[in-house]
Amino acid sequence: MPELPEVEVLVRYLQQVLPGRRIRAVTVKRPKSVRPDSVAVFEQSLKGQSVVSVTRRAKYLIFELEQRSRKTQMLGHLGMTGRMYVQPKADSLPKHTAASFELDKGRFVFEDTRYFGRLSLCLELLAKLGPEPLSEAFNSSDFFRGLQRSRQAIKVRLLASDLVVGVGNIYASEALFRATIDPRIPSNKLTRAQAKRLHAAIQATLQEAIALGSTLPLDWSGKEGRDQLFYFGRESGAKSNEERLLVYGRKGEPCHRCGAQIQRVVQAARSTFFCVRCQKTR
DNA sequence: CACCATGTTCCTTG
DNA sequence: CCAAGGAACATGGT
């Protein structure tokens, strides 16, 4: 399910339902989904803990837990297909359950079809991350200086998490389209003006996605398939019913701005979508 | 059968 | 040593 906006909206949902809940038992169904901790240690350490809060850093979820005023943290990552939600105890576990937590009220489920996601008691990963895109730490002058240090294509550069975190494959294409920058140009060839436009475009793209996800009637367990709307669909019930993504996944379709056909290229083994006419260097 | 898929890490190549 | 490219992870959809 996840890029930064999806994780942010998930965190807001979990923050509504988890704080105050006590974990009665933990069951790890997929050992590889818990790393690097052993399953036994993981299950035992979390049993009896209560949730204090759920926050986000990049695409990671941070669960703050406590037991008799002793605090612990658990890190979560959704990978490509992870999802998390609270279901009634009477409901059955989904086919690809990675781990489940019996709560004093309901059950917290971590479902993950492709099992690229992770739960961990080790938060070391967070230390190396670049600035949060929607915080003061992400400013256009540092961003520009960072871009100058590499000849990698700008699109590929955005996916590395040192200049800015949380920009994934979909929103990288979207932000570059909004900033009218060719995704293939080396990052050190961007002008100061382009860096500034891209900085603003990244923030606007992510902010709008969060706003959309926060207003949609999302179905967390996915029974109605409605969480798909968040990524690729249309704003349900909205009058406009307008496509939300401007270029991603639109190969061969007309550019919303100029009508030219949207192109698909492969960079670092991942798809990039862009409009050759609108996204010119300079 | 072929090719595609929202993320991250690790290995190889130059 | 470094930067860049690609494979790997695992499962499913079209």
State residue A242's pLDDT score: 45
Strand C closer than 7 A to residue A268 Cβ: yes
Whether the CB-CB separation of A4 and A168 falls below 8 Å is answered with yes
Tens digit of each residue's pLDDT (9 = 90 or more) over A150-175: 999 999 999 999 999 999 999 999 99
State residue A218's pLDDT score: 80
Whether the CB-CB separation of A217 and A226 falls below 8 Å is answered with yes
The Cα A40–Cα A61 span in angstroms is: 22
State residue A191's pLDDT score: 94
Instruction: Name which of A100, A96, A136 is nearest A116 in CA terms.
Output: A96
Residue A152 CA to C2 C1' — how many Å?
13
State residue A244's pLDDT score: 82
Residue A124 CA to C1 C1' — how many Å?
25
Whether the CB-CB separation of A18 and A51 falls below 8 Å is answered with yes
DSSP letters, chain A, are --SHHHHHHHHHHHHHHSTT-BEEEEEES-GGGB-SS-HHHHHHHHTT-EEEEEEEETTEEEEEEEETTEEEEEEEE-TTTEEEEEE-TTSPPPTTEEEEEEESSSEEEEEETT---EEES--GGGGG----TTSTT--HHHHHHHHHT--SBHHHHHHSTTT-SS--HHHHHHHHHHTT--TTSBGGG--HHHHHHHHHHHHHHHHHHHHHHHHS---TT-TTSTTHHHHTSB-TT-SS--BS-SSTT-TTSBPTTT-PBPEEEEETTEEEEE-TTT----
A4-128: CATH class? alpha beta
Strand C closer than 7 A to residue A251 Cβ: no
- State phi, psi for A174 to the nearest 5 degrees: -60, -45
State residue A46's pLDDT score: 95
State residue A232's pLDDT score: 63
Tens digit of each residue's pLDDT (9 = 90 or more) over A64-81: 999 998 999 999 999 999
Strand C closer than 7 A to residue A151 Cβ: yes
Instruction: Name which of A74, A61, A77, A64 is nearest A20 in CA terms.
Output: A64
Strand C closer than 7 A to residue A97 Cβ: no
**Is the bond into A131 cis (omega within 30 degrees of 0)?**
no
Tell me which residues of chain A have a pLDDT lower than 50.
Answer: 235-242
Q: Which nucleotide's C1' sits nearest to the alpha carbon of A173?
A: B6
State residue A110's pLDDT score: 96
Residue A151 CA to C2 C1' — how many Å?
13
Strand B closer than 7 A to residue A58 Cβ: yes
State residue A69's pLDDT score: 87
Name the residues of A annotated as catalytic. Answer: 2-3, 59, 270
Show me where the domains of chain A are located. 4-128, 140-274
| A140-274: CATH, from 3.40.50.1970, 1.10.8.50, 3.40.449.10, 3.40.190.10 | 1.10.8.50
